[in-house]
Amino acid sequence: MGRVALRGIRAHMVRFLLSLLAVALGVAFVAGTFALRTMMSSTFDGIVDAAAPADAYVRVQQADGSSVGTGTATAKGESVPRDLVEEVAAVDGVAHAVAGVQGPIVLVGADGTAVQSTQAPSFAVMYVPDDPSLDVVEGRGPQRAGEVALESATLESSGLSVGDTTDAVLGGEVTQVEVVGRVDLGGPMAGATIVLVDEQTGLDVLAPEGGVGDIAVYAAEGTSAAQLVDRLEPLAGDGLEVVTGDALRAENKEEIASQLGFVTTFLLVFAGIALFVGAFIISNTFAMSVRQRMRELALLRAVGASPVQVFSSVLVQAAVVGLVGSALGVAGGLGLVSVLRVGLGAAGMDLVGDIPVDATTIVVSLVVGTVVSVLAAALPARRAALVPPVEAMRDDVATPERSLRWRAVGGLAVTVLGGAALAVAMLRPEADNAEQLLGVGAAGVLVGVLMLSPTVARAAVGVLAWPFVQLLRPVGRLARGNVVRNPRRTANTAGALMIGMALVGAVSVIAVTAQQSVAGVVEAQTNADVVVRSATNVIPAGAVEDVAALPEAGRSDAIAFAPLAVSSGDEAPAVQYVIGLDDGTLGGSVEVDVVDGSLDSLGAGQVAVLEAASDEHGWGVGDTVTVGGTDGPQDLTVVAVFTTNVLGSPLVVDQQVLDTLVPPEQQQVDTILVSAAAGTSTAELQEAVADTVAPYVVVSVLTRDEFVSSLADQVNQVLVILYALLGLSVVIAVLGIVNTLALSVIERTREIGLLRAVGLGRLQLAGTVTVESVLTAVFGTVLGLVVGVALASTLPTLFADEGLSTLVIPWGSLAGMLVLAVVVGVLAALWPGTRAARMKVLDAVAYE
């Protein structure tokens, strides 16, 4: 039977090619995801190894939830004493002890704009001449103030050359610098802008309080990393620890792997959607194939083939389609990664190494594609196995269709249960399982509608076909009859498109709702006339002072923050961002709703917390929260619990309190809210602020409307990515329509011949196929959009506290998708319609 199955594929090659392509597209996503993750993991592992090459490190003890890194003196608002470097260098077995110091910097490139690659950071690193990790490959290292060396990729992307002069913003001040060298750090830096400054500047500007981020220790020959740690342990005082370089690198790699795991999961979800949609095509293909091959299958039964053998022959065909399609998908996935690699390289993020072709990726991809294909063909194969030989050998073979009654009852039950779960989630959004109920309910509604779709198809297509019936006679009536004749097949074909359009519709509603909600939040909770932001998310201190000094600025509120170790009661310390605000900012530039307590006198020894953080940690008014600082931890009393969507950090203190916890030089400012002075218009204020911050290159000045637009643009960027991923499922769905139409044309060969014989023209026949395609595409699109919009409309109720407060349905976009469905239907019908029109009348009439 295996030989028979393979001959069946060869004899009906066209009907299997589109199914094979559907499998290949879905598997390409799976293979590409695994390969991309492997390359990204390899790249970031190389970055970790290059950034932390020492044998041991003296660092601040890491609190739970802290980010692991090297060189940052502000990682927890604490630091390693700079004087400890000399003591470490004097320990037996130490070859080099290098203080790790780094901080934010803005470098102006040859074109006069800031050097920046996507969202990669821009930072300055202190250059130490005897640092073994630095390799000066051109020029020399910086020796005095005003000199810098650039990392190789940074030098290339900046357009500068060794010997050029440019500007840099360091320590909040604009400084002219000379590029004196090019330095290789031993690995790729993923697009980060890295500037090396001289030792004295590094200590004075990046570590002004006498603390460094860590001390990198290199062992002398004959000394192991473990021995080094044992000898350094006595020097580590309270709050410090000594770890091996291997341990630090392992921590960094583990954290990166967990972050990449999210990316992989995200992409695999879309790969699963693509395979799920592809399964519809495969199932439809084999169902129609079985229906068309009834006589062939009956002959097999008549000559002695058992039901199991017939069942196996169909599954063998499905396995071959799955296996070959998966192999093509693996090749396609690797090609996809190659294209993506070029795009990321152009954006400044180079993925190192060859594209991985590992056994895991290949095996998983082949197994997934083959299993999906076999499972999708199982039901048609069962029907083939149960063919009665005598019935199927008649001249006019009619396959009895089962009643849709029980399928409709089951679909209605699943839909009602899914709707009930959604209703419970909406009525009790504060419940712990509300999100799980939302997910289960959405899945239930989607599956239920898929089950109901054949029942709905007859009535829905009849309504959708009315314009065609009235305007295109007799084409419209013929097309309507062909579509509603087999509602199960129509629903299965449209089901693939329905899934894709449901997701697209839901994403559209969520995106527009998020945009409008953000706009509403900014309008309601921000009173500033002008908002100052930075492309690097760090506004230089000099810009903050210059804006505050403007006579046109009636009030200038800088939002400063720092990551600090926070704990309460028996809780282990965890890193949280703490915001410092000047008196009057809350209730002035930023509107807040006080849930408990009072913000009238937020001062020394006090802290206000967001309601979400209060609920998570159990913090209430009167409780004590311990916050780690440079000079040791401080106990702060909670005086208010409040809500706002403008501030994202969980704790807010007075600016003077933050200054006692962390020196101002180690704080970051990402936003300045500026209100116009009396008699000054918004336009005059914006112009004055723009002129003031112009030397700082990366700082932008926005009106409130422009600020809202910039936030909406961020949502649009995510939306474009989602649409691109969801577009794959729509492409596969289009293949399903093409596949079904092509098989339908083959199935109706004799009918087409008779229609041509009684006078139906070639164009009319092609038009009939085209209208069928359009009706199928529009039916799937309408059903999908209704489901997607309905499901997305439940989210504002559940996530109102997270900012989705205003439900907006993008009617214009939805109408555009309906137009797209018509275009999809026309394009999908081109090949099948042409094939039908070119059939020879006599051959078609004589077809068996």
- Same domain for 34 and 104: no
Average pLDDT over residues 160-178: 89
Q: How far apart are CA 643 and CA 611, in angstroms?
A: 6
Name which residue leads in pLDDT, 665 or 123.
123
Q: Which of 202, 223, 247 is the last residue of a domain?
A: 247
Assigned domain for 440 exists:
no
Mean pLDDT of the chain: 82
Does residue 779 register a pLDDT over 80?
A: yes
- Same domain for 588 and 480: no
- Same domain for 50 and 127: no
* CB contact at 8 A, 845 and 757: yes
Does residue 70 register a pLDDT over 50?
A: no
Assigned domain for 479 exists:
yes
- Same domain for 724 and 676: no
- Same domain for 582 and 463: no
What residue has token string 């009393």? 637
Long-range pairs for 231-234 at CB < 8 Å and ≥24 separation? 231/91, 231/92, 231/93, 231/94, 232/56, 232/58, 232/88, 232/91
* CB contact at 8 A, 239 and 61: yes
pLDDT band at 737, cuts 50/70/90?
Answer: confident
Q: At what angle do helices 487-525 and 434-464 cross, to 10 degrees?
A: 130
What residue has token string 């099948």? 832
Output b/e per residue, 3-15; b: 16+ Cβ within 10 A: ebbeebbeebeeb
Assigned domain for 385 exists:
yes
β-bridge pairing 699-703 and 606-610:
unpaired
Contact partners, residue 597, CB within 8 Å, separation at least 6: 608, 621, 638, 639, 640, 641
Assigned domain for 402 exists:
no
Name which residue leads in pLDDT, 440 or 50.
440
- Same domain for 200 and 83: yes
Assigned domain for 406 exists:
no
Q: Which of 360, 395, 430 is the last residue of a domain?
A: 395
pLDDT band at 71, cuts 50/70/90?
Answer: very low
Q: How far apart are CA 422 and CA 719, in angstroms?
A: 24
The 3-state secondary structure of 370-392 reads HHHHHHHHHHHHHHHHCCCHHHH
- Same domain for 679 and 749: no
Q: Which of 680, 697, 714 is the last residue of a domain?
A: 697
Report the number of distinct structural domains present in the chain.
4
Does residue 415 register a pLDDT over 90?
A: yes
- Same domain for 565 and 507: no
Closest CA to 9 of 313, 368, 331, 376: 313
- Same domain for 49 and 149: no
Name which residue leads in pLDDT, 663 or 187.
663
Least trusted range by pLDDT, from 173-187, 301-315, 406-420, 555-569: 301-315
* CB contact at 8 A, 158 and 213: no
Contact partners, residue 72, CB within 8 Å, separation at least 6: 100, 102, 103, 213
- Same domain for 754 and 726: yes
Does residue 36 register a pLDDT over 70?
A: yes
| CB hemisphere CA count around 194 (13 angstroms) | 24
Assigned token pair, 793:
């409309």
Name which residue leads in pLDDT, 99 or 736.
99
Least trusted range by pLDDT, from 94-98, 296-300, 510-514: 296-300
- Same domain for 832 and 787: yes
pLDDT band at 65, cuts 50/70/90?
Answer: very low
DSSP bridge partners of 500: none
Q: What does the pLDDT look like over 466-504, one tens digit per residue?
A: 999 998 888 889 889 888 888 887 887 788 788 888 888
Assigned domain for 74 exists:
yes
What does the angle CA 675 – CA 681 – CA 684 come to, to the nearest 5 degrees? 95
- pTM for the model: 0.71
- Same domain for 185 and 100: yes
The rounded percent of the chain whose pLDDT value lies above 90 is 17
According to the model, what pLDDT value does residue 754 have?
84
Maximum average pLDDT range among 4-18, 21-35, 448-462, 508-522 = 448-462
At residue 347, the 3 state secondary structure works out as coil
Average pLDDT over residues 172-182: 89
Assigned domain for 804 exists:
yes
DSSP bridge partners of 641: 596, 609
Q: How far apart are CA 412 and CA 597, in angstroms?
A: 50
Contact partners, residue 32, CB within 8 Å, separation at least 6: 267, 332, 333, 334, 336, 337, 340
Does residue 539 register a pLDDT over 90?
A: no
Q: 581 lies in which domain range?
A: 536-697
Assigned domain for 445 exists:
no
Does residue 340 register a pLDDT over 80?
A: no
Cα(first)–Cα(last) distance of the chain, in Å? 24
The rounded percent of the chain whose pLDDT value lies above 70 is 89
